[in-house]
Structure 1
Amino acid sequence: MEQRETAASCGGCVLSIAGATAAALTWASSARTRRHMGAGFEGEGTDYSVLLTELPLVVAAGAALPALACALLIHQMRRRRRKTARDTSRDTAQNTAEDTAEDTAQATTLGVESQLDE
């Protein structure tokens, strides 16, 4: 089980890197960003402050979304494993109680039969 969680964690890191890269590339190719970066007539409207304000937020959001999805997946995997373990232990306890009750009933029956034989 530990290997599965480790693989899911590594997968989350890879997805975060891919998400950050995809978000940055999508942001860079948008018309709004091109306009701020000097795509206007003769460089009119060039505003390089978007590199300091928008780009870090876009990259952070692109990295955070897959990381949150992966964390949710790992949480669900752990929750299912705990539930399965709890159900298994409950079934084992119930079966043990039933076996004990059957053994007691058999012992009582044997005790009554032995008393009748005397």
Structure 2
Amino acid sequence: DLHRGLKIQASKFNLDGTAERPVPPPDVDYPLDGQKILHVKGSIRDSVAELLFEQDNEEKSVATLILDQDILGSRSVSKEYFTQTGRIPDWCCLSNPSLEMFDVGKSAPPMMKRAFSTEK
């Protein structure tokens, strides 16, 4: 929520001490292994989510690192896929390659022939 984020930011960089943090989100119970339950307080959820987006001078935030890894990791796979097949992959194609990749004995398409001849 944008308004909640603005309130958190205002309270964090508050110089005169007038801004207050918003009410934390509700507590949550996460089931673990079917029998155990992890109880997470709302204030902890709030501070952990805030840590994801904090930056330290020129260092990237945790969220940016995760997104970069997703994008850069898939880009390297895409580049290798493109050099092998000559096709630009889509996301669903990377995990389930087309049958053309497994067709090793297939020859390359013939080169285009000239539409006219310069010979007499």
TM-score, normalised relative to structure 2: 0.34
**Higher normalized contact order (CA 8 Å, seq sep 6+, divided by chain length):** 1
Higher strand share: 2
TM-score, normalised relative to structure 1: 0.35
Higher helix share: 1
| Greater Rg over alpha carbons, structure | 1
